[in-house]
Amino acid sequence: MILRESCIQDLPYIYDICLKTGNSGKDATESFYDKNMLGSYYAAPYVVHSPEDCFVIVERGLISGYILSTKDTNGFYTWLNNKWLPNIRENYKENFEAKTEREKSLLNTIMKDTEMEKSLWIKEFPAHLHIDILANLQGKGAGKALMQRLFEHLKKNSVPGVHLGVDGANENAIGFYKKIGFEVLEKKDWGFILGYDLTK
C-alpha cells in the first residue's frame, strides 16, 4: 500500500469510492442514477478546497481509499456555500429529476446552504474528516494508516482536535473510531458526532 497526499487528478477515483461506500460503508450505486452526485457534496469539495489536508491510499496502482479533511470546518462551510454549491446547483436546476429517495434527500441538502457549526465543542475540534475505504482493503490496516497520517499532519499545523459524523447504524465504523480513540461529542437523530483530541 502507498499512502500519499491527494490531488485534483484523483477526483474520478474519489467520486467512485464515495459512491461504492456511500451506504454506511457499503455500495450505494443502486441508490444513485447520477453517479457523481454523492461525491459532489461529500468528497470532491475537500480535494478542491484543501488538497493538502486530504490523503489517498493506493493498492496495486489503484486508489482504494481516502481520508478527506479540512482544518477549519466553518471556514470550509463558508467557501462551500459561497463558491462550490452555487456551481453544483447549476447541474440540478434544470432537466434533473431525482429518481430515488437518496437522490431526493441529497438534492434538498445541495439546494440549501450548509449551516455553520455552532456547538461549543467546535473550538476544541475545529477540523473534520471523512474516511472511506473500498471493501478489498477494509480490515487490513488501511483505515488506521490514513488516520495516523492525518493526525500527524494536523498536529504539525497546530490543530487541537478533529471531529466526524457517523451513522448510528454503522456499528463497524463506530467501533473502529472508538478503538482509535474518538469520543462522543454529541448525539444526533441520525447518529453521533465523534471527536479526537490531538493535544494528547
- The DSSP line for 134-165 is -GGGTTTTHHHHHHHHHHHHHHHTT--EEEEE
Q: Which three cell numbers stand for residue 94?
A: 434544470
CA-based nearest residue to 40, from 5, 4, 92 = 92
Written as nine digits, the cell of 168 is: 448510528
Q: How large a percentage of the chain has pLDDT more than 90?
A: 88
pLDDT band at residue 200 using 50, 70 and 90 as cut-offs: confident
Distance CA 197, CA 161 (A): 5
Task: For residue range 66-115, list pLDDT tens digits in order.
Answer: 999 999 999 999 999 999 999 999 988 877 899 999 999 999 999 999 99
Of the candidate ranges 8-12, 22-26, 27-31, 46-50, the one whose mean pLDDT is the lowest: 22-26
CATH class as words, domain 2-197: alpha beta
| The three three-digit cell numbers of residue 118, written as one number | 455552532
Helix or strand or coil: residue 115?
Answer: coil
User: pLDDT grade, residue 137 (50/70/90)?
Assistant: confident
Residue entry with cell 494508516: 145
Cα–Cα dist 96/104, whole Å: 11
Residue 84 phi, psi dihedral angles, 5° rounding = -85, -55
The predicted structure's pLDDT at residue 58: 96
